[in-house]
Amino acid sequence: MTGLHIPAPPAAPETPTPPRWRGTGVSAPVFAVLVGTSALAYHGSRYGNWIVDDAAITFAYARSVSEGLGPVAQAGADPVEGFSNPTWMALLALGRLVGLFDRGALLGVPDYVAFPKAVALLCCVGILVAAYRVFAAVTRHAWLPTAVFGVALAAVPSFVIWSFSGLENALYALLVVWLAVVLFLAVLRDRLLTVRVAVVAGVLAGAAALTRPEGLIYAGTYPFVLLLALPRTRAFGRSVGFGALSTAVFAVPVGGYFLWRYATFGRWLPNTAVAKDQALPGIDNLLRTGELVAYVGAPMVLVTVGVAGVVLGRPVWWRRGLLTLLVPTALAVLAYVVLQPDWMGQYRFATPIWPLALLVGVLAGTELLSRGRIVARAAVSAALVVTLVPTGLSLVDSGREFASAPTVATCRIADRFGAMFNVYADMLDVREGSVLLPDVGATLLTSRLEVIDQAGLVDAEVAGFYGAGDMAGLRDYVFDEVRPTFLHSHGAWSAGTGIPDDPRLARDYTPVHVDPDDGRSNADWVRRDVVPDSDSLDAVRAYAEVTIPELSTEPPRRHCGPTLHPGRTETGSG
């Protein structure tokens, strides 16, 4: 629109050269980032060497890719997209290629623990730097809200647990937060309609989409922000053009990956999505926002929303920036509610919500506490005191409870299903065999047997049965086609598939170990035709009878030796 005059926004307060922190020679911004980093690292250390077993699935693919085997879960397996985080998997594969991951120990800590946790901490540093950029744009003393932001983020177990779980959560949050910050700064500087901002937004949204499947939703962030800015810019044609440019930049890597996926695996969706049978969302999905509200406490949410609402209603020069931050925050909440509930606990899919919501809350709170009237300051201060105490106590209890019994640990699976079934095979002189079970992450890393995934995440055939809801077909596939040498089932996998109650199990298999409490629904089995004699079977049963109870007493946050290698037979703490 030639000749259009767009008035410049009021100038932001000039930010002086950051002062040095007293007596340290460290600048205030660096000090603020160090405070948040230290708080996050301390909280993360409470979970010790714990890595969730689902992360080990990605570890197995990273190993295969780095060894030139392609996207396979094990050497010799068919290509199946059993990972849903291509960027994270590629980062781990790169770490392995340069000798930092899946090679041994780093300073006495296994690198399968140290490397992903170190990368996660670096991602957290990147989030803190992004937060400082936001605060520095609107206040002179940006170090203080940055430090508050970092400490508050470190107080949220959901964020810390999954950021340091070995999964892609920290990288995902970093990409989404920087997307929000880039657009926030662009709006304040009237640079939203520029090639640079459009391209950077497209790249960040594309990277997020290749880090988590629901990251596709962030392709709408820049277009939505353009739509919000339209009444001010009145540049409809230019907005459409820049929105199309950003979408095209997003589509190049994401579309290219989709084409590669279909050419390689024959499916447009990752195998994990097929296995989980993700349904279309309904109105009832929106009620899942209540889970997040309950987690941090309704009073805290009401105070945050109220403070943000007050700032949006005031003539604050950077109000449009705050409105911009609400766009990715809303998309993050929407992405959470449309996904099926996650059984792992601690709201694994909510990771980007916490830093985005805290950015909004701390930013608005800083405005009222620094520039509001005395009455407003007193009201905000009182509300924070009243809400922070119960929220803080609740979060502390939540983190402590998880630390005492963390979700399915990699080392637990490596010992119980990797090493133990290797020993079973050795004792029964099974040279080549297979094992079917639902916990496959560390099993893939440690088993010398062919691993058949009862959950279907890394098995396209099994995933198809789950997608179709055909459990009878799954049982036929297991007992008539695959006929695994060893079989284990437990919990929901037993109840859901009906495998323990199928008469073919008793016909073709003999038990090695049956849980005294759960019975057949939690048991190890071996195919009868591979047992050489009754003495060998008795020896295997005696080994299981002693070893399984011993493993149940192992610390839940331990590591299990310097490497997780195929053919592992040792169990217990490393």
Domain boundary among 372, 404, 436: 404
Domain contains 560 = no
Same domain, 372 and 315: yes
Same domain, 444 and 351: no
Domain contains 8 = no
Same domain, 389 and 428: no
Rounded Cα distance, 208 and 254, in Å: 10
User: Tell me: the pLDDT tens digits for 360-374?
Assistant: 999 999 998 887 678
Same domain, 240 and 368: yes
Lowest mean pLDDT among 13-27, 64-78, 302-316, 513-527: 13-27
Same domain, 318 and 435: no
The pLDDT, as a whole number, for residue 282 is: 67
The pLDDT, as a whole number, for residue 18 is: 53
Full domain range(s) for residue 533 = 411-552
Q: In the chain, how many domains are there?
A: 2
Q: Which residues contact 286 (CB under 8 A, 6 or more apart)?
A: 337
Are 457 and 82 contacting, i.e. CB atoms less than 8 angstroms apart?
Answer: yes
Residue 1's pLDDT band, with cuts at 50, 70 and 90, is: very low
User: Tell me: the pLDDT tens digits for 528-554?
Assistant: 999 999 999 999 999 999 999 999 999
User: Tell me: the pLDDT tens digits for 173-213?
Assistant: 999 999 999 999 999 999 999 999 999 999 999 999 999 99
Which residue has better confidence, 235 or 144? Answer: 144
Same domain, 175 and 234: yes
Question: Shortest CA distance to 405 belongs to which of 159, 161, 68, 126?
Answer: 161
User: Tell me: the pLDDT tens digits for 382-396?
Assistant: 888 888 889 999 999
pLDDT for residue 278 is more than 60: yes
466 bridge partner residues: none
Domain contains 13 = no
Question: Shortest CA distance to 52 belongs to which of 93, 98, 99, 85?
Answer: 85
Same domain, 154 and 300: yes
DSSP state of 516: T
Same domain, 392 and 415: no
Q: pTM of the prediction? A: 0.93
Domain contains 4 = no
Same domain, 255 and 110: yes
Rounded Cα distance, 316 and 322, in Å: 10
Mean pLDDT of the chain: 91
Question: Shortest CA distance to 191 belongs to which of 3, 330, 9?
Answer: 9
pLDDT for residue 8 is more than 90: no
Q: Say if residue 566 is exposed, middle or buried (CB neighbours under 10 Å; 0-12, 13-18, 19+).
A: middle
Same domain, 343 and 450: no
Rounded Cα distance, 304 and 391, in Å: 13
**Structure-token pair, residue 75:** 């050497």
Which SS3 state, helix, strand or coil, does residue 27 take?
Answer: strand
Interhelix angle for 111-136 vs 353-371, to 10°?
Answer: 30
Q: Say if residue 411 is exposed, middle or buried (CB neighbours under 10 Å; 0-12, 13-18, 19+).
A: buried
Same domain, 399 and 419: no
Same domain, 155 and 193: yes
